[in-house]
Structure 1
Amino acid sequence: MVDVTAKRILVVDDDAVIREVVAACLQHLGSWDVLTAASGKDALRQADTEKIDAIVLDVMMPEMDGFAVLQCLRSNPTTQLIPVVLLTAHSYLPNPDRLPKLGVVLTIFKPFDPVDFVRQIAQALQG
């Protein structure tokens, strides 16, 4: 069984309010160490240089969307095995059957319940 309390999670979202809410949920309800990134480029830099156990990744972002970030993560030997939780406001995702093959362990739709959000992530990281 994985000890999820010791995890370091990178939260990637271009919306500062969402980023802060997600980080607060993970820190206060999940007791995890949380890093944040406001863009895909920043996320890739942090994932490559920091010890990251999981990434909560917004799908819709300017310049580089979540799927582009996911492709870059998977093509880098340093980041290719980091589990990813997609966070999206859209109920439609292209090719949802391909997501597990890309390392997506969970998809969460906005808006979310903070307690359920943390519980779902804890379960996904254990499994």
Structure 2
Amino acid sequence: MNAPLERILYVEDDSDIQEIARLALVDLGGLDVTVCSSGREALAAFAAVRPQMVLLDVMMPGMDGPTTMTSLRALPGGETIPVAFMTAKVQSHEVSRYRDMGAIGVISKPFDPMTLADQVRALWAEWGAQC
């Protein structure tokens, strides 16, 4: 059993989606969330934030989510950090690809703000049960 989920690094380039997710995760879910607008920003913040979990948008300009995840894996402490993707690209072959890359799960967009924190915690618990 892993510790309760408290700290998340959330990477999303769309400011409207950032705000909805922040409200859902912080105000409704009681989580400590650091929001980054790009993969590069997330990589720079990772060591200071020390997240327990990372939520990544798949389609972002510059550095997309899969590339960001690969780069996170090269950072100290990033080798085993659980990463979930948040994306509208949720066809079965796409979800399989993300899982094959090492993602612990996928949350589809648009997401329900009322249940987002529960979805994230369920992925966290599932990942913890496998560790």
Specify if TM > 0.5.
yes
- Alignment partners' CA distance in 2, 1:8 and 1:80: 17
Q: Distance in 1 between matches of 2:60 and 2:47?
A: 20
Instruction: Report if the CA contact (8 A) 1:3-1:126 is conserved.
Output: no
Q: Where has structure 1 moved over 4 Å in runs of 4 or more?
A: none
Gap runs ≥5 in structure 2: 127-131
Q: Shift in Å at residue 11 of structure 1?
A: 1.0
- Gap regions ≥5 residues in structure 1: none
CA-atom RMSD, angstroms? 1.9
Aligned residue in 1 for 2:51: 52
Q: Does the 8 Å contact 2:9/2:49 carry over to 1?
A: no
Residue 102 of structure 1, CA deviation: 3.5
Change (3 A) 1:13 1:54: same
Whether the 8 Å CA contact 1:11–1:36 is kept in 2: the answer is yes
C-alpha displacement of 1:48:
2.8
Contact conserved, 1:74 with 1:102, CA < 8 A, in 2?
no
Q: Identify which range, 44-53 or 34-43, moves more after superposition.
A: 44-53
Q: Is contact 2:58–2:85 with CA below 8 Å preserved after alignment?
A: yes
- State the percentage of identical aligned residues: 35
1:25-44 counterparts in 2 under 5 A?
25-44=24-43
User: 2:4 maps to what in 1?
Assistant: 4
Structure 1 stretch 27-36 or stretch 83-92: which is displaced more? 83-92
